[in-house]
Amino acid sequence: GENVEQHPSTLSVQEGDSAVIKCTYSDSASNYFPWYKQELGKRPQLIIDIRSNVGEKKDQRIAVTLNKTAKHFSLHITETQPEDSAVYFCAASKGNTDKLIFGTGTRLQVFP
Amino acid sequence: NAGVTQTPKFRVLKTGQSMTLLCAQDMNHEYMYWYRQDPGMGLRLIHYSVGEGTTAKGEVPDGYNVSRLKKQNFLLGLESAAPSQTSVYFCASKPLAGGWTDTQYFGPGTRLTVL
């Protein structure tokens, strides 16, 4: 079946450095790719998303890139801050349906 | 607006007991979803609904039932709880497809422990 692989599972960076999280998906019909941030004990919250007709999207310190040919997409966080510490989940739509398949998450720790 | 709310926040059950989790949204969203979140496994879809009166199975539906009698509410039932159903349950909702966003909005979660 369709799946989404996410790497790395944990990532530690120094404050001010960049962080990159990568995901690959298997369903070539997937057309929507959101990224969620989940702080400890809280609900997942959308931080950025991208559709298959766009290669890159940026929102302040956060950017997402999509390579449809290779079926992978990445989250880039620049100038990391301690408050960026959380678990980040990527997801891909199941085909062009309204269902999402989630990656297994990346625990990001930003050290001051 | 309260957004997406879930009741209860925490619950402890004994094996074989039953319970119902309630999800409510005040955003007039058509789509609603129930996920479970287990360590190292991300979020997995249990059941979902594309509108009032409709339900459909997700990836891991066994042992669960759902109902969507009112557009704003989506209920998740466990008829005979098992320890394997110990998890954090999240509800989410989304507006109708073709709208301005495909974002799913999540509730605060219910932590369920089955002994």
Q: Which of B43, B97, B107 sits opposite A102 (nearest CB)?
A: B43
Cβ neighbours of A42 in B, within 8 Å: 108
When mean pLDDT is compared across A35-49, A87-101, B58-72, the lowest value belongs to A87-101
Q: How is residue B40 written in tokens?
A: 């190292």
pLDDT value of position B23: 98
- Higher per-residue pLDDT: A98 or A36: A36
Q: Which helix (H) or strand (E) holds A21?
A: strand A19-25
Contact B42/A105, CB-based, under 8 Å?
yes
Residues facing A92 on adjacent strands = A101
Count Cβ atoms within 10 A of the Cβ of residue A69 and give its class: 0-12 exposed, 13-18 middle, 19 or more buried. Answer: exposed
- Residue A31's alpha-carbon distances to A27, B14, B90, B102, in angstroms, are 9, 42, 23, 11
Residues facing A88 on adjacent strands = A37, A106
Distance CA B110, CA B81 (A): 15
B15, B83 contact by CB (below 8 A): yes
pLDDT value of position B41: 82
Smallest CA–CA distance, residue B99 to chain A, in Å, is 12
Mean pLDDT, range A83-103, rounded to an integer: 92
Distance CA A8, CA A74 (A): 11
Q: Which of A34, A43, A93 sits opposite B109 (nearest CB)?
A: A43
A75, A48 contact by CB (below 8 A): yes
Count Cβ atoms within 10 A of the Cβ of residue B35 and give its class: 0-12 exposed, 13-18 middle, 19 or more buried. Answer: buried
Nearest residue on chain B to A96, alpha-carbon basis? B97
- Residue B76's alpha-carbon distances to A9, B5, B66, in angstroms, are 30, 13, 5
Across all residues in chain A, what is the average pLDDT?
94
Distance CA A35, CA A22 (A): 11
pLDDT value of position A83: 96
The number of C-alpha atoms within 13 Å of A3 and in the hemisphere containing its C-beta is 6
Distance CA A110, CA B30 (A): 38
Cβ neighbours of A49 in B, within 8 Å: 102-103
Indicate the pLDDT class of residue A59, thresholds 50, 70 and 90.
Answer: very high
Note down pLDDT in tens along chain B; length 115 residues.
Answer: 779 999 999 999 999 999 999 999 999 999 999 999 998 888 999 999 999 999 999 999 999 999 999 999 999 999 999 999 999 999 999 988 665 557 899 999 999 999 9
Size of interface A-B (CB pairs under 8 A): 47
Q: What percent of chain A has pLDDT over 90?
A: 83
Write out pLDDT tens, residues A80-90. 999 999 999 99
Write out pLDDT tens, residues A2-15. 799 999 999 999 99
Q: From the CA atom positions of chain A, what is the Rg in Å?
A: 13
Residue ranges of chain A whose CB lies within 8 Å of a chain B CB: 6, 9, 32, 34, 36, 42-46, 49, 89, 91, 93, 98-100, 102-105
pLDDT value of position B95: 87
